[in-house]
Amino acid sequence: MRIFFPILCVLLLISAPTKASEELLDIKKVTSPSGINAWLVEDHKLPIISIQFSFKGAGSVNLTEDKQGLSQLLSNTLDEGAGEYSSQEFQKKLSDKSISLSFNSGRDNFGGTLKFLAREKKSAVELLNLALNEPRFDKEPVQRMVDANINRIKSSQGNPNWINARLYNDRAYEGHPYAFNSGGTIISLQNITPQDLKDFKNSHLTKDRLVIGASGDITAEDLGVLIDTIFGSLPDTTPPSKIKQLTLQNLGKTYVYKRDIPQSIITIGLDSIDELHPDYYTLQILNHIFGASGFGSRLMSEAREKRGLTYGIYSSTTNNEYLDALTISTSTQNETVAEMLQIIKDEMKKIKTDDLTQDIKKAKDYIIGSLPLSFTNNDSIASILLSLQLRNRDINYLNQYHEKIMTVSAEDVSRLAEELLTPEKMITIITGTPKNLENTLLITEVPNVE
Partner 1 sequence: MKFLLLPLTVLILLVTPFSAYAKTFNAQSTTLENGLRLIVIPNSRAPVVTHMIWYKVGAADEPPTKSGMAHYFEHLMFKGTETLSPGEFSRIVKGLGGNDNAFTGQDYTAYYQNIAKQHLEKMMSMEADRMINLKISEEDFISEKNVVTEERRQRTDNKPKSLFMEQMRDALFTNHPYGTPVIGWMNEIESYNWEAVKGFYDTWYAPNNAVVIISGDVTMEDVKPMAMRTYGALEPKDLPQRKRGKIPPAISETKITLFDETIKQPSYQSLRLAPSSHQSKQESLALQILNEILSGGPTTRLYKNLVVDNKRATSVNFSYQSSALDHGKIFVSAIPHEGISLDEIENDIQNEFNHVIKNGVTETEVKEAIQRLQDSAIFARDSVSGPANIIGFNLLTGSTLNDIENWPTDIATVTPAQVQDVAKKYLNAEAPYIKPPVKGYLFPTNTKEASKTDKKGAIQ
Binding site for partner 1 (CB under 8 A): 24, 43, 45-48, 87-88, 91-92, 95-96, 98, 115, 117, 140, 144, 147-148, 150-151, 154-155, 157-160, 259, 261-263, 265, 293, 295-296, 301, 304-312, 331-333, 362, 365-366, 368-373, 375-379
Residue 33 or 369 with smaller CB distance to partner 1: 369
Measured from the CB of residue 248, what is the shortest distance to partner 1 in angstroms? 26
Least distance from partner 1 to the Cβ atom of residue 158, Å? 4
Nearer to partner 1, 104 or 247 (CB): 104
Residue 107 or 304: the one with the smaller Cβ distance to partner 1 is 304
H/E segment holding residue 328: strand 324-333
The residue among 377 and 400 lying less far from partner 1, judged by its C-beta, is 377
User: DSSP 3-state assignment of 364?
Assistant: helix
| Minimum CB–partner distance for residue 90 and partner 1 (Å) | 9
Q: What amino acid occupies position 194? A: P
Closer by beta carbon to partner 1, 150 or else 251: 150
Q: What share of the chain is helix, strand, coil (3-state, %, to 5)?
A: 45, 20, 35
CA distance 379 to 362: 29
Name the pairing type of β-strands 263-271 and 324-333.
antiparallel
Task: Name the minimum Å distance from CB 56 to partner 1.
Answer: 27
Give buried/exposed letters for 400-431 (b at 16+ CB in 10 A, else e). ebbeebeebebebbbebbeebbebeebbbbbb
Q: Contact at 8 Å (CB) between 445 and 298?
A: no
Q: Are 401 and 18 in contact, with CB atoms under 8 Å apart? A: yes
DSSP β-ladder status, 28-31 and 37-42: antiparallel
Q: How far apart are CA 342 and CA 339, in angstroms?
A: 5
The contacts of residue 402 (CB under 8 Å, 6+ apart) are 17, 18, 19, 20, 368
Q: How far is the CB of 425 from partner 1 (least distance, A)?
A: 28
Instruction: Look at residues 7, 69, 322, 274 and name the one whose alpha carbon lies nearest to residue 178.
Output: 322
Tell me how long the chain is.
450
Shortest Å distance, C-beta 204 to partner 1: 26
Of 323 and 381, CB closest to partner 1: 381
User: Of 175 and 262, which CB lies nearer to partner 1 in the complex structure?
Assistant: 262
Any idea what the Cα angle at residue 33 is, between residues 27 and 35, rounded to 5°?
A: 70
* Cα–Cα dist 449/188, whole Å: 9
Q: Least distance from C-beta 446 to partner 1, angstroms?
A: 11
* Residue 77 C-beta: closest distance to partner 1, Å: 13
Nearer to partner 1, 117 or 251 (CB): 117
Q: Which is nearer to partner 1, 7 or 41 (CB)?
A: 41
CB of residue 344 vs partner 1: minimum separation in angstroms? 16
